[in-house]
Amino acid sequence: MVKIAIVGDIHLEFSEDDLAYFNSSAHDLILFVGDLSNYWPRQGFRVAKRISRLQKPALLIPGNHDTVDLFQLVSEIKGWRAAAWLFGLGQGVKHRRLQRRLGAVQLGGFSCHPYALSGSLLDVIAARPFSMGGPTVDFRDYLKRRYRVGSMQESAELLKRRIDESAAEQLIFLAHNGPFGLGDNRQDIWGCDFSNDQLDYGDADLQQAIAYASANGKQVLAVVGGHMHHRLKGGGARRWHVYQEGIHYINGARVPRIFSHNGEIHRHHVSLTYDQGKVQVEEIIVS
């Protein structure tokens, strides 16, 4: 049996208790969906330093808050291209610094990561990093410099090449935001809750990559993401788990992931177990 922990958008919430819990747990692999920080890269570097002390294999994909400061983030959201380019000039340096702070924890993005876990071979495909969801490619200037990706189609094609590199029959996709095609209502797993319009805010490039993997004989066990928080703007809760056409789609972004209830501190993650071809998904609250 393979046991994988999925840790949603952290936003500074990863404690010494988390570290002790995961190091003593039976997890074979820990997947982080990104957003270690809020609005300043130094916050994320401090969290990454703590994560680096994990004694389990772990993989993290950067979210839209990672290696990015408030000015660059606002420029991207507003579509101010000149300001986004200017504020993003140092993103490469901060990206490399994040990897150094993570130590042995892998930093993914347009990458294929093979694992042999409890006798099972599976590959994790890390999708487009820094995604904010929706129809546009975010942080395009940096993605062009580092990955030669400037459009949704170029991103999809690069992900397909990474799938072609995979030698395992079973795949898990790790993304910051999830794929397009799972609903456009505000409570859907990657539906938009910050607009009056009903919008599917999933990533179309990731949707294409998943379809390509399935069409080429890969068994996609799960697609893991976050970004769209469980608590909806204006009230209500988001659907965080969807099982469709044999694939488990998991949104781990319970924010804040460390919270108090009835005077006790609780910490959230999602557990995925894979045993003899069967996948089980469970939301875990640790007190």
- pLDDT value at residue 102: 98
Average pLDDT over residues 198-227: 97
- pLDDT value at residue 276: 82
- pLDDT value at residue 120: 87
For residue 197, is pLDDT > 90? no
- In this prediction, residue 77 has a pLDDT band, given cuts at 50, 70 and 90, of very high
**CATH class for the domain made up of 2-286:** alpha beta
Q: Using only C-alpha atoms, what is the Rg of the chain?
A: 18
What are the structural domain ranges in the chain?
2-286
Average pLDDT over residues 154-158: 98
Phi first, then psi, for residue 31 (nearest 5°) are -110, 125
- pLDDT value at residue 66: 97
- pLDDT value at residue 133: 95
- In this prediction, residue 119 has a pLDDT band, given cuts at 50, 70 and 90, of confident
Average pLDDT over residues 113-130: 95
Mean pLDDT computed over every residue of the chain: 96
Give dist(CA 205, CA 190) in Å, integer. Answer: 14
Of 54-63, 71-80, 190-199, 255-264, which gets the smallest average pLDDT?
190-199
Q: Which residues pair with 144 in a beta bridge?
A: none
- In this prediction, residue 177 has a pLDDT band, given cuts at 50, 70 and 90, of very high
Of 11-20, 113-122, 179-188, 201-210, which gets the smallest average pLDDT?
113-122
Nearest to 63 by CA among 132, 127, 154: 132
For residue 198, is pLDDT > 90? no
Nearest to 176 by CA among 155, 150, 196, 195: 155
* Parallel/antiparallel/unpaired status of strands 219-225 and 258-261: unpaired
- Name every residue whose Cβ is closer than 8 Å to that of residue 75 and which is 6 or more positions away in sequence: 83, 84, 87
Token pair 């640790």: residue: 286
Rounded to two decimals, the pTM is 0.96
- pLDDT value at residue 118: 86
- Please give the structure tokens belonging to residue 39: 């609005």
- In this prediction, residue 195 has a pLDDT band, given cuts at 50, 70 and 90, of confident
Nearest to 29 by CA among 91, 88, 97, 108: 108
Phi first, then psi, for residue 55 (nearest 5°) are -105, 15
Give dist(CA 184, CA 204) in Å, integer. Answer: 13
Average pLDDT over residues 230-250: 96
* Chain-centroid distance, C-alpha 31: 8
Average pLDDT over residues 214-231: 97
Q: Are 283 and 240 in contact (CB under 8 A)?
A: yes
